[in-house]
Chains A and B, each alone.
Chain A
Amino acid sequence: MTGVRRRAGAAQPPLLPCCRAKRPVSRSPRAQKEGTHPGAMVHAFLIHTLRAPQAEDMGLCRVLYSCVFGAENLPDDSRPHGAERDRLLRKEQILAVARQVESMCQLQQQASGRPPTDLQPQSSDEPVPLHEAPQGAFRLAAGDPFQEPRTVVWLGVLSLGFALVLDAHENLLLAEGTLRLLARLLLDHLRLLAPGANLLLRADRIEAILVRFLPHGQLLFLNDQFVQGLEKEFSAAWPR
């Protein structure tokens, strides 16, 4: 069976029935927009693996790094192990996003007829043309998997997926720009695609980049000079 048949979400196991149960009562679009949380921030950032469509039997989609900014207000849970359950829920939410991004990215790659070899890491040290990288956005309805409705912006660079989970009415254009910037910085400063690059053990560097370019999930309007300034300052504090 070709990978084409797979629809996003279709091949995934039903996600956390308990999250669905917490879905708030239906609200009008207007109410959603002006509810108590109109929100204009990033809820989470993640980096995960992207597998070639044929290689789906090669392990699972893995979240390599994730950072959740703040926490969703969950309904009070008096049962024991509440904290453990909350943490598990957060981890599952992030994994669900990663899986959906992977699926979207694969479908887009197939639709645009890119050979799956494009997903293989390249050994060369050349910069990756990010403007040609597959990218997209999709909506996550309230309750699935997050309590609030969210938008996911994603970018696929070879075998890595980068994604921002946004509050529903964030400035999408700014988010796309920020995601491309983050991906570029991470690729450059962590040499993510070079052989032997070990993303998993360099969380401090990723954190240092996020603290500067996406503090607390705040998207920043940084012009080119601001970016350069921050990058210089980062390079000085974190020599390669």
Chain B
Amino acid sequence: MGPRCLCGQRLGGETPTAGRRGVARSCQLLQGQERKATEARQPVGIGEIQDEELKKFCFRVSKLLQKEDLGPDAADTLRRLFLIVSATKYNRKLEKTCVDLLQTTLCLPTCPEQLQLLCAAILREMSPCDSLSLCCDHIQNTRQLSLVASVLLAQGDKKQEVRNVGLRVFKVLESRQPEGPSLRPLLPVLSKVTSLAPGTLHQDQTNVLNKRLVDWLRYASVQQGLVHSSGGFFSTPRARQPGPVTEVDGAMATDFFTVLSTGQHFTEDQWLNVQAFSMLRAWLLHSSPEGTGPADTDDRSELEGSTLSVLSAATSTSRLLPPQERLRDKAFEYCQRLIEQSNRRALRKGDADLQKACLVEAVLVLDVLCRQDPSFLYRTLSCLKGLHARLCGDPTSVRALLPLAQFFLNHGEAVAVDSEAVCQHLFTRTPSELFHSPTLAFEFIQFCRDNLPQFGRNLSVLKLSFPNLFKFLAWNSPPLTSEFVAFLPSLVDASTAVEMLHALLDLPCLTAALDLQLRSSPAASERPLWDTSLRTPSCLEAFRDPQFQGLFQYLLRAKASGTTERLAPLHQLLQPMASCARVVQCAEAVPTLLRVFFSAVSQFTDKALTNQLALLLLERSDSLYQVPGYEASVHRVLSSEFLALCARHPSLVVELAKELLEFLGGTGGLRSGARMLSSVVWAVGEYLSVCWDRRCTVEQINKLFEALEALLFELAQSRPSATLPKCPPQVVTTLMTTLTKLASRSQDLIPRVSLFLSKMRTLALSPAASSVHCEEGVGAVRRRATELLHLLKMPSVAQFVFTPSVDVSEPRYHRDTNTALPLALCMVSRLVEKEAGLLPG
């Protein structure tokens, strides 16, 4: 599909997206128009040639359009012109005569549909266009008016095009003779106009339209349309009536016509019925400018109060109502009828799908009605309660449960109905059963996210359901990650934080378990999209093994359980699935989510929770599902978050000294990777001090010192081995610094650490060291050891440098010339450098 063959040999120009020079270019272009002139037409040579060719082509188009008889040649040329205009993101300068002719042709009463469509499409593609002279004021043909409107509405409303189109369309609508042109092309225009500029129509005009909508919605013919010849698109010939319309199950229609009424052919007013319902919700929202409840009360007080409207609505004397209320009344009846009709067994698949979409729409419209006029609440409620009961037993209509839940959330309080049951059902069953449906997953999470303020008392139901909501995320991570980034902070609170952190770390494991659940479920006939190339018999067996049932059940739980299970055995079992694409995708989302989690948690953590989370980080850093690349990226987050926790509550290092000792003393520290290890070691050096917590004892310092000494010794001696990952020099230098810091606080340790540091320095010089670390690493170790040794020679300086008092961070220290920190640091570094310069090596 090369551009040459598309545009014909005459136009070898730009490719469909013309994007070779890419977004970067266009950004520059958008930022400064000065660049535009020079860059947009580069390379200049090609640009000129194209301009020349385009001129010729425009000339040809103009010639063809001026002909009396607009034949297939014209259509062919216009198609090419459309491609030329649409294929580039930069403006195509068309000849003025050509643009004018396109507009004239579009408005020609005799112009065939094909050419009109093409002219409109080209003009729309050029828009916004400053030189447009198109005007819709005199167009009578509704189809033409609709096309002209599409061009005008694309202009961006710089010259009030939207308003003009709206008024013209309304005028045609209003003045329509019963036998006049079809209104079908006009309603969507009106709908678009009201959505682009809601205030376009006056109250009177809105009322006229309200009345019209009532007629179309409620009083469309219940007789089928005629078999009409293949005449024009909107022709409505009249002949014999071929019988009444039917319901979707084939039964004779029991009541008025709706979008769920079928027949062989449809009448004009039935078409308008479809369009009226399609635009109803948006119209209701836009046509009552003040919108919701309270603002409406003024309106109604003029109409003798709301009691009357309740009564009148109940007693079908609604013809007396003002147009807007009457429309609401009819809309209510329409929705009720749709709900009734959607319970019928559709004969065609398409109709079954439409039933579900209609249910959703009906509930959404009812919600709007009740928000605008609370007097609908009681009638709606009884209807929707029944619907809810019906839907709970019907897994295929699950999508309608979301707007239904939304309704109960919005209005439950007003009518003293507890929405809890609805929410419970929704959050417990739906995600576990239908996590694999991508659009449901999206809609479900969007529902949760958008309705957070409405959840009220049910917020706890939502929060406790996070394990279920995570199933959507685990299965559909690419589209849902950004949703969860926005949504997660509202989901987490102090009581679930620990469990949620575990769940986040185990998210890829959950993906694997969900895959197994799908594969082993009996209803696998629905065929959700899963990886059939993946063969994991051992995993499936394990999934069914009673020994692991408990763990799998825990992993796949629907609600927060308040407990945490160690899933390490599952990590082993599910290892064969760790490299499958879905698991890898999920694993890629986890680091981002962890960061969001920690930033949310930092808003409310107390000391106890911080300690808990810090311990959890230590524990989980060496207990992760082994997905390629997962551990490294998670460690990056965990190590920095560990430091953030320490910075927020420095005394946690003293409080958790025993646990830290275990972590550093055991093999956990080594296994959990260099990043985590150096963070912990650094935190010990930084915060294990009386200035952060008076409870810090010499014994604690000595014990940790010994553990770190042993660790460093082990690292320094170790040869690269297969079992332990290679230790980067950063860990070694951090260890040395921390040992020195601790020694500066418990000065009995200074001789020991000095000895050790000189050993490290010699060790770093030995040829064996360079086999462990690279050249640069060896240098860093040696340099650090030397510096630290010098500092230790002056214990009081060392203490000042390594354990600065808390108020060092105060501004005074950076301003006061006598105590200025930079001054002190400068002196220290001079000392260190000088000493280093005096010493050999």
Contacts and interface: CB of A to CB of B under 8 A. Distances in A.
B191 A229 contact: no
B360 interface: yes
Contact of B356 (A92, A108, A173, A204): A173
Contacts of B582: 110-112
Interface string B278-319: 110110011000011000000000000000000000000000
Interface in A85-128: 85-89, 91-92, 95, 103-104, 107-108, 110-115
B196 A70 contact: yes
A183 interface: no
Interface residues of A, number: 107
Contacts of B442: 136-139, 151, 172
B451 interface: yes
Interface in B101-142: 113-114, 117-118, 120-121, 124, 126-130
B447 to A, nearest CB: 10
Given A91-B89, A216-B146, A218-B278, A41 B79 contact: no
Interface stretch (B24-32, B418-426, B634-642): B24-32
B651 interface: no
Contact of B478 (A39, A107, A174, A227): A107
A176 interface: yes
Contacts of B399: 172-173
A92 B22 CA distance: 10
Interface in B353-389: 353-354, 356-358, 360-361, 364
Interface string A187-202: 0000000000010111
Contacts of A103: 478
B422 to A, nearest CB: 19
A203 interface: yes
A171 B185 contact: no
Nearest to A31: B453
Interface string B559-590: 00000000000000000000011101100110
B511 to A, nearest CB: 9
Given A13-B24, A15-B23, A88-B89, A70 B439 contact: no
B185 A215 contact: yes
Contacts of B248: 223
Contacts of B192: 41, 69-70, 216-218
A167 B281 CA distance: 13
Given A215-B185, A218-B275, A224-B351, A39 B282 contact: yes
Contact of B282 (A41, A60, A227, A233): A41
Contact of B128 (A37, A71, A223): A71
Interface string A12-49: 01111110000000001110111011111100000000
Interface stretch (B524-532, B594-602, B654-662, B762-770): B524-532
B17 A62 contact: yes
Contacts of A72: 156
Interface in B416-457: 438-439, 442-443, 446, 449-454
B797 interface: no
Interface string A65-83: 1111111111000011111
Given A200-B1, A201-B80, A203-B121, A71 B358 contact: no
B581 A110 contact: yes
B198 interface: yes
Contacts of A69: 150, 153, 192
Contacts of A171: 357, 360-361, 364
A141 B128 CA distance: 24
Interface stretch (B262-270, B493-501, B674-682, B818-826): B262-270
B553 interface: no
Contacts of A177: 353-354, 357
B534 interface: yes
Contact of A29 (B17, B19, B451, B534): B451
B670 interface: no
A71 B580 CA distance: 43
B19 A222 contact: no
B92 to A, nearest CB: 10
B673 to A, nearest CB: 20
B841 interface: no
A218 B191 contact: yes
A116 to B, nearest CB: 12
Interface in B334-353: 348, 350-351, 353
Contacts of B27: 16-18
The majority secondary structure among interface residues of chain B is helix
A136 B479 contact: yes
Contacts of A237: 113, 230, 233
A225 B278 contact: no
Contacts of B187: 218
B173 to A, nearest CB: 15
A55 interface: no
A4 interface: yes
B189 A216 contact: yes
Contacts of A229: 265-266
B363 to A, nearest CB: 10
Contacts of B286: 38
A176 B188 contact: no
B221 interface: no
A15 B26 CA distance: 10
Given A70-B154, A172-B443, A227 B350 contact: yes
Contact of A68 (B17, B79, B154, B292): B154
A222 B128 contact: no
Contact of A113 (B36, B358, B532): B532
B23 A88 contact: no
A153 interface: yes
A143 interface: no
Given A16-B26, A73-B156, A198-B1, A29 B449 contact: yes
A93 B325 CA distance: 40
Contacts of A15: 23
Contact of A16 (B23, B155, B278, B452): B23
B121 A207 contact: yes
Contacts of A173: 353, 356-357, 360, 399
B230 A40 contact: no
Contacts of B483: 139
B453 A29 contact: yes
A19 B647 CA distance: 37
Contacts of B458: none
Contacts of B478: 7-8, 103-104, 107-108
A207 B123 CA distance: 13
B715 interface: no
Contact of B588 (A5, A202, A208): A5
A200 B83 contact: yes
13 contacts: A69-B150, A70-B192, A81-B36, A83-B128, A88-B89, A112-B530, A112-B531, A207-B121, A208-B114, A211-B147, A216-B150, A216-B192, A221-B274
Interface of B: 1, 6, 15-17, 19-20, 22-24, 26-27, 29-31, 33, 36, 75, 78-80, 82-83, 86-87, 89-91, 113-114, 117-118, 120-121, 124, 126-130, 146-147, 149-150, 153-157, 162, 185, 187-189, 191-192, 195-196, 198, 230, 233, 248, 259-266, 271, 274-275, 277-279, 281-282, 285-286, 291-292, 348, 350-351, 353-354, 356-358, 360-361, 364, 399, 438-439, 442-443, 446, 449-454, 476, 478-479, 481-483, 527, 529-534, 580-582, 584-585, 588-589, 629
When A and B form their complex, which 5 residue pairs have the shortest distance between CB atoms, in order from nearest?
A113-B531, A112-B529, A91-B89, A236-B230, A111-B582
Interface of A: 4-5, 7-8, 13-18, 28-30, 32-34, 36-41, 60-74, 79-89, 91-92, 95, 103-104, 107-108, 110-115, 132, 134-139, 141, 151, 153, 167, 171-174, 176-177, 198, 200-204, 207-208, 211-212, 215-227, 229, 232-233, 236-238
Given A92-B26, A110-B582, 5 more contacts: A28-B453, A29-B453, A62-B17, A71-B153, A200-B87
